[in-house]
Structure 1
Amino acid sequence: MPGEVIVTLEEGVSLQSVTALRAAGVEFRFVRRIAGTRMALYRAEGLDQNQTLAAAQQLNRQAMVAEAFPNWILRAQKTPNDPLYPLQWHYPLMNLPAAWDITDGSSPPVNVAVVDTGIIAHPDFQGRLLPGYDFISNPAEAGDGDGRDNDPTDEGGDSGYHGAHVAGTIGAATNNGSGVAGVSWGARIVPVRVLGVTGGGSFADILEGIYWAVGGTDLPPGVPPNPNPARVVNLSLGGEAACPNEVGRYFQDLANLGFILVVAAGNENKNAANFVPASCPGVLTVGAVGPQGRRAPYSNYGTRIDVMAPGGDTSQSFTVGGQTFPAGVLSPVLDERGNPFYAFYNGTSMAAPHVAGLVALMLAREPGLDFQTIRDRLRNTSRPLSASDCNRPSGDECGAGLVDAARALGGSGGGTPSPPQTRSLTTYVVGFYCTNQQDCFPYDERRSRLEVIQTSASRIPFTLASLAAGPYLVAAWQDTNGNQEVDNGEPFGFTADASGRPRIIPLRAGEALAGLVIRMRPAEAARLDQARPGIPVQPLEKLVRDRF
């Protein structure tokens, strides 16, 4: 409060006897004693905040004054009321709550393009989406019966609703009493569909999708201009290749024009310099840390990394309110029935949108920032990772370190956030040998096979070998609480057909089970056996107990 100071007088000096104090050339008049304390409020006219601070310092040097300080204005720490926010450990890790006290990005809103698998209908995107476009030119890859069109809906398949998960981190509807929170409370999402039902997409489609997203006008025939150009583009995609020279020039030109391209470093635990677009100039390249703030085991590394951000690590778990969850990044997807849902994913794909959302906060506060200024500020305000935390010979291989959202916005940073308590998770894959090809049970335990696998990314390859020829049902399960029982909420899945029913796999002599897709979702263990015959809940538990 300009002109107001709170004063404590030395022992033996009566408040009533000191009706005025002089400092900074003005007179501070006694206003009142602060109830229940030895402190009193004094006020002077005509001072601004800086002058008030200087006056308090002068008062501290006076003989009768024990202590004087400004009558500060304190504000509520901005914490969203979204009920799943307590599960988003990844936001405190990057000091985001303190950043929200500076700006939540609501005004002016910043357009962020998510060049990915498209978007879904979900309550957490209500009021958050701008019109997008489907740039997939191959109808088979698009999965929607045609090529390019103005409908960027994610058609599912092997997409995993990746684009929606990324978009939710950037800008899910926040502080609305529902679902999860997004990094920017005001960002508007421009969905650009370039990855299809196999989870992949052509580089040509991706480049044209980026060009459309930023408002390019020299477009292919039939493609209308984007009426809502994006300042920020998130690219949670990539492949192992060098960045072509012309692509590098293209991205650098976009950066020179003020567009901010945020790119995932890749999930191969390799040097990001050998991946595109992560190695290209003109982009912000983001690696991933797990819940303890150390480089996630899958994250690419190297001096091409600009900064690190939370990407999760589902080989670990954390506990909130007595429930245990995989330590991934929580964001919107659809469940197997096409209903709105939330899932824990991990990967540099999840790290990049944390930075894209933070850039949106920075631009909401300072719209004139250019690419180089944003890049420098993010790097200069990040918390460096040691060689040990980076799990590399040098911490420089994790770029400038873990982003600090509050410091990037000009705040103090508020110290080092406390990471959640985590423990290692056990993940099981079981091939049940079916004696009944209708529902697989009873099964032959002697010819079934169980493997423990290490989870370090959202897609984990596994192989079940040395199997007898015959029919198999394959199930996967993550034991989050370590009790070797399938409990409600624990990730669980099985080989399924298009309708979601269990799919039995015929195996010839000498073959191995590999290349299967098993999506684990929170189990409803109490009714799995009854509602869906053929899902091996109790047999899976028995196999685990017998082996371990």
Structure 2
Amino acid sequence: MMFFLLNLNDQNLYFKDRVIAQIKKEYLPLFELKDMRYVNGALTRFYRLPNSVNSVLNSQNIKSVEGLILGKITPKAIEFGLDRIIVIYFNSEVDVYKIVRDLESTGMFEYVEPWFIYKMDIVPNDPLISNQWHLPKIQAFNAWDITKADSIVVAAIDGGVAWDHPDLGGIIWNNLGEDVNGNGKTLIFNGSTWQFDPGDLNGVDNDGNGFIDDLIGWDFYGNDNNPKPDPCNATYDDHGTHVTGIMAAWTNNSVGVAGEAWNAKAMAIQTGACGYIYSAINGTYYAANKGAKITNHSYGGPSYNNSARTALLHARSMGANNYAAAGNQGVDVGSSPRYPCCYNDATICVAATNQGDQKPSWSNYGSCVDVSAPGDFVYSTAWNSSNNSFIYAAYSGTSMASPSAAGVGAMIKAANPSLSVDDIDTLLICSTDNIDALNPSYAGKLGSGRVNMFKAVRMAKFAGVSVLKVRVDDSNYNNNQRAEVGEQVKLFLTISNPRCYRNASNVSLQLINNDPNITVIDGNINVGNLNMEQTIEPADFFEVSISGSQPRFWDFKVKVNSVPQNADTIINLRLIIGFPKILVVDADTLTNFETYYTSALDSLNKVYELVRFNEPQLFRSNTREIIIWHTGNRSTNVLTSAERDSLVAWLNSGKKLFISSQYLAEDPIGSQFIQNYLGANIIQTGIQYKTIVGETGDPVGNGLKFRLVNPDGAQNANSDDNIAPNNPNSRRAFRWTGVTGSGDYGGAVVYQIPCKTVFLAGPFEAISNTQTGWNKREEFMSAVLNCFISSSDEVGLIPFGIYPYVKNSQILIKYHFKQAQNLNISLYSVNGYRIYESEIKSAQYGIHKIPIKSKGIYILKVNEKTYKLINN
């Protein structure tokens, strides 16, 4: 088919030989339906214009007046006024916008507009990419363990589908209303290729939808029943084939690639060719009427089209969710709208991301965008139109991002078929991974984030009961709200069911304990109902008795029973027994960078407590010895006066501090704190080196080197500082340098030798753990903690072993083991009489105390080792 009456001079593309108009209800009787017949297999309506309209159009130039919508007009279509939309065709080129104004002047139309044409949103790229990176990125494999999408019909409103592709034929939708021979198929495999079932081609509209022999869909471009693309432009001929493959390529068939919506059925629809979409309205209407629950629209332009929006709204009313590409112009579609993306009540608008979750330069962005999805070098099914060969290729564009989001939408629908179209949109938006930190220039303009299929499916199918907090009630003991050895405590759980998860009923919690030093008195909590967005502390509680050593972690599990099933049936929890001497302070509440510090401590088997600055636990126990303080991305008010005063009091009491901050030197209060309490002068701020190397011979830095790069770190090393010791009691422990050794800038200073404070003038959290030949974060942390050992009683910091000593009429036994073990302890007088015996199960680190009354010599036996101790 050839179209030659186009305006292709700018972004507003439209036919110059026709206009579209919607007749007002009260004037519909004046437009006579003079004929209705099948044209090339599609039921078409022909109208006669009233004289009042003819008079403004110069009727001799009119070719025909036809209903825009082909096929059967349903009651739902009438409800949306689709039956009142007509197309006026002219015999030759006309001034379209003059015609629009003339028709509007009659007062008989809701709207009059050009027949707009939209461009496909593809950026051609090297096809030799064999990695579907987008599937693990959106966690598709985990989602497939929960549900498949073989009950869902999807439709690409596009340039046709190579439906006989080996990786598509098995999932092409079959219109069983046209299954004349009753074999349950309208598309069959003949042993070598896929073909229409000959027994179903009878030239009759068997399902009565207004289309003859539409076995797998329809071609609205060529107006026939074969929606395979027309060879025209090699760049765009397989656009619809690629898009369809992203959504629904035949999965688990030992061939080619996998579609996101596992074996969803793909309706084959052609609405354009050569890179342009002409008949999206009819394609959308057909898809919705035939049961498609997902429609994808990988095209667009700047022209608002009332009839197109109406068709999309009609599709939503039929239970279809619509997804549209944001476009590839690299512009803000909030200020330069693009359609259908910006029909915010009708479509989900999708921007593109690359493998690093960053917006490619070409992807549009802005307030119209609802979500982002993988769209850069996406590998999928393809078709070589020059020789009709079936291939695979990687293409880029928001054309690829939109079907990726659509595939997630199909999986949401499959996980919970009862969801409404609004529910599905909400879940898609709610379940994304926020990527603003990776796209600071586009924060808030890439929708809610990059789609995550696993999270979306979990939210659709399950309740989301989680434990936010464990409150300790030890009011029968010292009432300090901390579980300690020798206490029997009640544990009250604050639980929540976050937004977008399903309402939960019959909720109960069961405690699972494997710690021999914890005795469960009551391990069941009855909750009842917990609705979405509800947070409660049930009146019921767990009750446990605690023995063994402290401080230590108690790791336990909670089993969640609910209807529907909970997303996580087992929740892992950790409770601190006693008061650890290591305190991790998260002074940057906007990020989760504290996990880089706690994971390093976990790998070193250290007991610690994580708090926010404003939490009461900060200085509540004099057993604290070490604070690890980080400020992350906090670039203003990096150190408040209240925080400074607390730290000064802490240091004046003889405690120790490790502080990591890349913006502290640029803060007025922080810079004074550095000079007065961290033993350093600020030489230069905002240096950009990503390598830090330890000073030879320094107790902290000797032999260590680190790279602040790679995604396994926080990737936030933006403003490191050059610092230097400012008095004889401080020393430089690390220097910033280039990867090859060029550059020499102070990176870390240790103050009050041997070791009272360690200041890293950069983000510890940005250190990479995956650079071959470079040290890891936990090695930095270990060096700092070892530096603090000499004047610290922190058990977790002593070397592995047993260390008994006498103090204040007590025998104290410090112990620290790499793996937990049982300790058998016996104490004898010098004459050999046993005066004390105890067993500690699963001991790893702690202090065991034995009171002694008399002075003299004692013999201590711990397992097989014997120690002689003297109480003077």
Query: Normalized against structure 1, the TM-score is what?
Result: 0.50
Q: Which residue of 1 aligns with 2:281?
A: 207
Aligned counterpart for 1:134 among listed residues 209, 219, 231: 219
Matches within 5 A, 1:242-257: 243-245=304-306, 247-257=308-318
Matches within 5 A, 1:62-461: 87-106=131-150, 109-120=151-162, 121-130=164-173, 131-136=216-221, 147-158=222-233, 159-196=236-273, 198-202=274-278, 205-215=279-289, 228-241=290-303, 243-245=304-306, 247-273=308-334, 274-280=337-343, 281-312=345-376, 328-335=377-384, 336-386=386-436, 389-390=438-439, 392=441, 394-410=442-458
The 1:127/1:104 distance shift into structure 2, 3 A limit, reads same
Q: Larger strand proportion, structure 1 or 2?
A: 2
Q: Which residue of 2 aligns with 1:513?
A: none
TM-superposed CA distance for 1:104, in Å, is 2.4
CA distance in 1, matches of 2:269, 2:245: 14
CA distance in 1, matches of 2:321, 2:711: 29
The 1:419/1:199 distance shift into structure 2, 3 A limit, reads farther
CA distance in 2, matches of 1:308, 1:283: 14
CA distance in 2, matches of 1:302, 1:177: 40
CA distance in 1, matches of 2:435, 2:407: 22
1:132-166 CA deviation, whole Å, 9 max, x = no partner? 11001xxxxxxxxxx31111011222123000000
TM-superposed CA distance for 1:105, in Å, is 1.8
Which one has more relative contact order, counting CA pairs under 8 Å at least 6 apart?
1
1:352-382 CA deviation, whole Å, 9 max, x = no partner? 1111111111111211211211111111111
CA distance in 1, matches of 2:266, 2:373: 20
1:269-306 CA deviation, whole Å, 9 max, x = no partner? 11224111010121111110011111121111001111
The question of whether the paired residues in 2 share the 8 Å contact of 1:116 and 1:191 is answered with: no
CA distance in 2, matches of 1:408, 1:151: 35
1:242-263 CA deviation, whole Å, 9 max, x = no partner? x345543443343244211111
The question of whether the paired residues in 2 share the 8 Å contact of 1:85 and 1:181 is answered with: no
1:111-141 CA deviation, whole Å, 9 max, x = no partner? 10111111112110121112011001xxxxx
Give 1:114's aligned amino acid.
A
The question of whether the paired residues in 2 share the 8 Å contact of 1:134 and 1:149 is answered with: yes
The question of whether the paired residues in 2 share the 8 Å contact of 1:390 and 1:397 is answered with: no
1:475-512 CA deviation, whole Å, 9 max, x = no partner? xxxxxxxxxxxxxxxxxxxxxxxxxxxxxxxxxxxxxx
1:16-45 CA deviation, whole Å, 9 max, x = no partner? xxxxxxxxxxxxxxxxxxxxxxxxxxxxxx
CA distance in 2, matches of 1:183, 1:175: 12
TM-superposed CA distance for 1:399, in Å, is 0.4
Give 2:382's aligned amino acid.
V
The question of whether the paired residues in 2 share the 8 Å contact of 1:183 and 1:354 is answered with: yes
Q: Tell me, what secondary structure is at the counterpart of 2:277?
A: coil
The 1:185/1:193 distance shift into structure 2, 3 A limit, reads same
Give 2:257's aligned amino acid.
V
The question of whether the paired residues in 1 share the 8 Å contact of 2:322 and 2:348 is answered with: yes
1:386-427 CA deviation, whole Å, 9 max, x = no partner? 1x53353x41100000011111011699999x989xxxxxxx
The 1:419/1:150 distance shift into structure 2, 3 A limit, reads farther
Give 1:115's aligned amino acid.
I
TM-superposed CA distance for 1:177, in Å, is 1.2
The question of whether the paired residues in 1 share the 8 Å contact of 2:299 and 2:325 is answered with: yes
Q: Which residue of 1 aligns with 2:523?
A: none
The question of whether the paired residues in 1 share the 8 Å contact of 2:321 and 2:425 is answered with: no
The 1:96/1:115 distance shift into structure 2, 3 A limit, reads same
The question of whether the paired residues in 2 share the 8 Å contact of 1:293 and 1:419 is answered with: no
Give 2:349's aligned amino acid.
T
CA distance in 2, matches of 1:249, 1:117: 21
Alignment gaps of 5+ in structure 2: 1-127, 174-215, 465-566, 569-591, 596-709, 713-872
1:80-100 CA deviation, whole Å, 9 max, x = no partner? xxxx99710111111111111
Q: Tell me, what secondary structure is at the counterpart of 2:148?
A: coil
CA distance in 2, matches of 1:174, 1:237: 26
The question of whether the paired residues in 1 share the 8 Å contact of 2:324 and 2:349 is answered with: yes
CA distance in 2, matches of 1:209, 1:403: 26
The question of whether the paired residues in 2 share the 8 Å contact of 1:85 and 1:180 is answered with: no
Give 1:100's aligned amino acid.
W
TM-superposed CA distance for 1:173, in Å, is 0.9
CA distance in 1, matches of 2:149, 2:140: 12
Q: Which residue of 2 aligns with 1:22?
A: none
CA distance in 1, matches of 2:446, 2:224: 39
CA distance in 2, matches of 1:129, 1:118: 12
CA distance in 1, matches of 2:410, 2:432: 17
Question: Which 4+ stretches in 1 moved above 3 angstroms?
Answer: 244-250, 411-416
CA distance in 2, matches of 1:344, 1:250: 31
The 1:208/1:246 distance shift into structure 2, 3 A limit, reads closer
TM-superposed CA distance for 1:168, in Å, is 0.6
1:511-532 CA deviation, whole Å, 9 max, x = no partner? xxxxxxxxxxxxxxxxxxxxxx
The 1:169/1:284 distance shift into structure 2, 3 A limit, reads same
Give 1:110's aligned amino acid.
I
CA RMSD of aligned residues (A): 2.6
Alignment gaps of 5+ in structure 1: 1-83, 137-146, 216-227, 313-327, 421-548
1:454-476 CA deviation, whole Å, 9 max, x = no partner? xxxxxxxxxxxxxxxxxxxxxxx
Aligned-residue identity in percent: 32
The 1:132/1:250 distance shift into structure 2, 3 A limit, reads closer
The question of whether the paired residues in 1 share the 8 Å contact of 2:220 and 2:271 is answered with: yes
Structure of greater Rg:
2
Query: Normalized against structure 2, the TM-score is what?
Result: 0.32
Q: Tell me, what secondary structure is at the counterpart of 1:332?
A: strand
